[in-house]
Structure 1
Amino acid sequence: MLDFVALDVETANARRGSICAIGLVVVENGSIAQRYSWLCRPPESIGHFDGFNVGLHGIRPEMVAGEPRFSERLDHALAIIGDRPVIMHNAGFDTCALRQACDAEGTSWPTLRYGCTLVWARRELDLVSYRLPFVAEALGVPLESHHDAAEDAEACARIFLAMADKRGSATVEEFGTTVGARLGELRSDSWRGCVSGSSQGLVAPIVVTDAAVDHPLHGQVIVFTGALSRRRQDAWDAVARLGATPEPGVTKRTTRLVIGGGFTGDSQDEFMTGKAAKALKLRQKGQPIEVLTEFEFEWLLRMAS
């Protein structure tokens, strides 16, 4: 049975935790049942409003002045979500925003199972861009006011319903299994993305030793952790073509660690996976491991195109 809740957040500034709006859309048995749109006061320590963000969503400081704080809105949202899976478009951003907002207000992270229509659309569709408006248009989903939290949440819900219908999936879990991307999990002290990070079943590719030696990844030993937008095997194959060696775990050989799952590289507080923690310890001992975000990794791949 297709029961889930679609979620979207908007932020007051470039700090992901500065949540000022939450949109929820409840889907029951494959049909939209309820829709919620809430403003909230972002965490005080990171709650200033930037003109760029205001220009996107139109939410101004005076509009949230009398609203409940983020933590109160989150409690209400979690009561509605219950034990249903949550669907987001670019879940790496939204789950990171939830974590950072909770940290800023000194509250525990929520417990959620979640999927990402951005990740899934990249596996199911062939588009020039996988931003929400492009995916919505490709699937015939209306999106009248992008960056309105409830509008975006409803578009996300309809996008997933369209993809699940094409696959004939009866549940969110079944769809994730079918496309090879398990649901992610957010817990009070840890998280993992909705793309499997397991190295089981990966095939070590042949490293192209005569690849361009001037490419920044040539000769590196690369490990991946967290959710990536591309399949892990595809990432391994891509770096091998550039003359790099992919490996499943961080060791004394590792020279590059690519962290997915919405990692931005802004703070070591975001190094939440076991591989990332091990890399930090090795760096403290003098091993020259460089950490890359998924965006930086993809940019390096495009250099070779």
Structure 2
Amino acid sequence: MFGLFKKKKIGATAIEAYAAKRRSNYDLDFLGTSYKFVAVDVETANENSHSICQIGLALVDHDNTIRTYSCFVNPRENFARFNIDLHGINHRKVAGAPAFPEIFGTLSDFLNRHILIQHSTFDRGAFNGACDLAAIEKIKSQWIDSVQIARRAWPEFKGNGGHGLANLKNELRLDFDHHDAGEDARAAAQVVLLAEERLGVAFDSILTRNPTKRSYPKRVSIPGNEAGPLHGKTVCFTGKLGMSRDEAAQIAAQSGLTVRTGVSKKLNILVVGDQDLEVLNGHDKSSKHRKAEELIADGQPIQILGETEFHALVSG
């Protein structure tokens, strides 16, 4: 878990003492290196954003390799049960750990030299709150929100799981332990690199360029006709059909099918139309189609039908 802070700069003595006590390898060799960007994540002890109890850094080199470091911080505040259950950090784990001013004194110059990535705006607020509490100067670097980058790269996730790390972990096949600061920082860095690859744009230009306006079929949800022969089953549509999404939903509902907007374990039928390659952003199937196949692989009895099969089903 530890991969941070060994000598150099203010606060190193306290950090070295803590490292020796924990028998951990705190290596600060990265402080003199310049990286493409640095992803930052924090965990907090309680509802106060300044109560930082763990700092994680993902250092992204110019060849896109990632080094991850994390360190416990003693917030000198009580730990709330909710936070302990979330990240597993408590008083015992931070006993003897340096306080925020000591750690920040070691990291501040390094952080101020880099563009910083955060997944949502929480981490910047936590750093600012901790700096205010300690009466020390805040980070002056540019902060970029990887949630906003993810929204540009994968707009189809809106309303279909969203752009939080938990859903992106599933959709993008990310491998990390959620709610560990170092792991979450690495995940945010991976999201940015995947977005670069998908959009063909450098990470620091993704949010400044004008995105191409894309057209998505209307999301329709209708309860099924109780007198219909297919009542009790659910259907969802993805892709472009030979009719409007409203027309398809009305036909399905008349046959008894309840029309849903998303794919879940409660779905029975997914109707797949033509796929817009621009919307798919490099995938050969929509996110709904891929999710349905995952559920089928897990044993869920979901049928995937083409438009012709759908018409045959409701006609029959």
Does 2:83 align with 1:53?
A: yes
**Structure 2 CA distance, aligned partners of 1:2 and 1:106?**
28
Closer, same or farther in 2 for the Cα pair 1:134/1:30, shift >3 Å? Answer: farther
By how many angstroms is 1:75 displaced?
Answer: 2.8
Counterpart of 2:170 in structure 1 is: 137
Closer, same or farther in 2 for the Cα pair 1:81/1:107, shift >3 Å? Answer: closer
* Superposed counterparts of 1:142-157, under 5 Å: 142-143=175-176, 145-157=177-189
Superimposed CA distance per residue, residues 158-208 of structure 1 (whole angstroms, 9 cap, x where no aligned partner): 0110001112223x322232366xxxxxxxxxxxxxxxxxxxxxxxxxxxx
* Superposed counterparts of 1:250-269, under 5 Å: none
By how many angstroms is 1:137 displaced?
Answer: 2.2
- The residue type paired with residue 161 of structure 1 is L
Counterpart of 1:201 in structure 2 is: none
**Structure 2 CA distance, aligned partners of 1:2 and 1:72?**
23
- Matching residue within 49, 63, 73 for 1:16: 49
* Superposed counterparts of 1:1-305, under 5 Å: 3-42=36-75, 44=76, 47-90=77-120, 92-125=121-154, 126-127=156-157, 128-143=161-176, 145-170=177-202, 172-178=203-209
By how many angstroms is 1:78 displaced?
Answer: 2.8
- Tell whether the 8 Å contact from 1:7 to 1:25 is kept in structure 2 after alignment: yes
Identical amino acids, percent of aligned pairs:
33
CA RMSD of aligned residues (A): 2.0
Counterpart of 1:218 in structure 2 is: none
**Structure 2 CA distance, aligned partners of 1:81 and 1:105?**
18
- The residue type paired with residue 206 of structure 2 is F
- Tell whether the 8 Å contact from 1:22 to 1:149 is kept in structure 2 after alignment: yes
Structure 2 residue runs of 5 or longer lacking an equivalent are 1-33, 212-316
- Tell whether the 8 Å contact from 1:24 to 1:77 is kept in structure 2 after alignment: no
Name segments (4+ residues, structure 1) moved above 4 Å. Answer: none
**Structure 2 CA distance, aligned partners of 1:103 and 1:176?**
29
By how many angstroms is 1:82 displaced?
Answer: 4.5
By how many angstroms is 1:35 displaced?
Answer: 1.5
CA radius of gyration, larger in: 2
Closer, same or farther in 2 for the Cα pair 1:18/1:150, shift >3 Å? Answer: same
**Structure 2 CA distance, aligned partners of 1:2 and 1:71?**
24
**Structure 1 CA distance, aligned partners of 2:188 and 2:107?**
17
**Structure 1 CA distance, aligned partners of 2:208 and 2:197?**
15
**Structure 2 CA distance, aligned partners of 1:160 and 1:11?**
24
Structure 1 residue runs of 5 or longer lacking an equivalent are 181-305
By how many angstroms is 1:81 displaced?
Answer: 3.1
By how many angstroms is 1:66 displaced?
Answer: 0.5
Normalization by structure 2: what TM-score? 0.52
Closer, same or farther in 2 for the Cα pair 1:60/1:2, shift >3 Å? Answer: closer
- The residue type paired with residue 121 of structure 1 is A
**Structure 2 CA distance, aligned partners of 1:103 and 1:87?**
21
Superimposed CA distance per residue, residues 104-129 of structure 1 (whole angstroms, 9 cap, x where no aligned partner): 12212111111111122223322222
- Tell whether the 8 Å contact from 1:4 to 1:26 is kept in structure 2 after alignment: yes
- The residue type paired with residue 50 of structure 1 is A
Counterpart of 1:237 in structure 2 is: none
By how many angstroms is 1:80 displaced?
Answer: 3.5
Counterpart of 2:22 in structure 1 is: none
By how many angstroms is 1:132 displaced?
Answer: 0.7
Superimposed CA distance per residue, residues 192-239 of structure 1 (whole angstroms, 9 cap, x where no aligned partner): xxxxxxxxxxxxxxxxxxxxxxxxxxxxxxxxxxxxxxxxxxxxxxxx
